[in-house]
């Protein structure tokens, strides 16, 4: 399944309980995610897209769009 930015934003919104997630939102500062939430988002993405995300790759992930790029590379 090709990852659509909208789908990723919806997934992040479900994880964080937010209905208004935008591509440029910062996961921590804008959306209030804590480290456990980030891990849970990663696991949900892995389950949804059948991928494995290396935790070291998360260092460069700040926004929803960053997550989308990461998933696109792995699918």
Site string for another protein, 46-65 (x = CB under 8 A): -xx------x----------
Compute how many residues bind another protein; rule: CB under 8 A. 19
Q: Which is nearer to another protein, 26 or 39 (CB)?
A: 39
In whole angstroms, give the CA distance from residue 74 to residue 18: 26
Give start and end residues of each alpha helix (H) in 1-75: 5-16, 35-49, 64-74
3-state secondary structure of 75: coil
Binding site residues, another protein, CB under 8 A: 10, 13-19, 35-37, 39-40, 42-44, 47-48, 55
């Amino acid at each position: 399944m090709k990852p659509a930015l909208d789908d990723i934003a919806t997934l992040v919104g479900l994880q964080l309980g937010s209905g208004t997630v935008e591509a440029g939102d910062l996961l921590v500062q804008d959306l209030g995610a804590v480290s456990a939430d980030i891990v849970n988002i990663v696991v949900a993405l892995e389950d949804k897209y059948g991928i494995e995300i290396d935790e070291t790759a998360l260092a460069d992930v700040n926004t929803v769009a960053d997550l989308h790029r990461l998933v696109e590379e792995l699918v």
